[in-house]
Amino acid sequence: MIEQIREKARELLESGELDVVIGYAEGSDPTRTTPIFCRKPEDTDKLVLDGRCVNTLPAYLNKRHEYPKKGWKKTGIIGKGCDIRAITQLIAENQLKRDEVYIFGAECEGVVAHPEKWDGSLHEGNCASKCSACDVKIPLDTDFYPGEKPEVDRSGPYMVSAPALATLVKMDDEDRFAFWRDDFDRCFKCYACREVCPHCSCNICITDRTMPSWVDQAAHTKGVFGWHLTRAMHLVGRCTGCGECTRACPVNIQVDLFNQKMKEVIQESFDYKSGYSMEVKPPLITYNTDDQETYIR
């Protein structure tokens, strides 16, 4: 599978059709891979694709990053199904044009929850929770797919698979608030959760603005709650469930639980699943006169 992708990537870099191919290469130790930007055809020999490829590479396609500023006209990117969902959402939000990107996709068996859990294979004990209910193992839109792509029924509800979310939803308000207060006590506002997110797309994040200062910048309880609630609201109907915010958090806060719950709410309220259509806009960036207002109480 990866051999076919390497071959195609090499061919497109040689012909000049692509300026760069973003993929994964071996990392600093055998449990890790690292993102690689292949500029020369021979760089493609380094490409790998397996259960260690955890990073959500479409974060690099987000316009707040360096890549669009380099003047590259067309970027190739290797995507797992959930990554391609992120690309789909970036296109739906006009962050990216479809013809600026060439998508290499392949069937995905899942990824490890965290590199340190990699023991040479994927299994129940180390697989990321997002993979258990995944309906994009066969990816959506691809320009290159090794072999024939089977049809998949994706009409079901959005995957919301973290067992921790079910536990959280069952708690009463007081316990749930205590859960978040305890977790947020550890947050020191490093913003890793923002930096890895393919959909945090503002050039200057609202939390970094100081004139005026919208979100208290200190990492105390008020500042941290302000940051996380703002972040969660900015991603409503846009998060595509890659789980990178949680994986990247150095103090193990399950930041994406907010976003997972919001996905359920948006689907119930607007029949919308982020990352499944390049044409349909997220409900909170559009307006219809018959929109429900049941959330106003």
Q: Which residues bind ligand SF4 (CB under 6 A)?
A: 80-82, 108, 110-111, 128, 130-131, 134, 136-137, 187-193, 196-199, 235, 239-245, 248-249, 251, 253, 255-256, 259
Nearer to ligand SF4, 5 or 255 (CB): 255
- Min dist CB 137 to ligand SF4, Å, is 5
Q: For residue 91, what are the contacts with CB-CB under 8 A and spacing of at least 6?
A: 97, 98, 278
Nearer to ligand SF4, 45 or 233 (CB): 233
Is 48:103 a contact under the CB 8 Å cutoff?
Answer: no
Give how far Cα 155 sits from Cα of 63, 92, 223, 243, 267, Å. 30, 19, 39, 22, 12
For residue 207, give the amino acid letter: T
- Min dist CB 21 to ligand SF4, Å, is 19
Task: Show the tokens assigned to 219.
Answer: 């990492």
**H or E stretch including 75?**
strand 75-79
Nearer to ligand SF4, 12 or 239 (CB): 239
- Min dist CB 51 to ligand SF4, Å, is 8
- Region of 110 (left: φ > 0; alpha: ψ -120 to 50; beta: rest) is left
The residue among 188, 183, 193 whose CA lies nearest residue 248 is 193
Nearer to ligand SF4, 38 or 236 (CB): 236
- Min dist CB 15 to ligand SF4, Å, is 29
- Min dist CB 281 to ligand SF4, Å, is 17
Nearer to ligand SF4, 44 or 207 (CB): 207
Torsion of CA 207, 209, 210, 216, to 10 degrees: -10
- Min dist CB 293 to ligand SF4, Å, is 25
Nearer to ligand SF4, 44 or 62 (CB): 62
Is 128:159 a contact under the CB 8 Å cutoff?
Answer: no
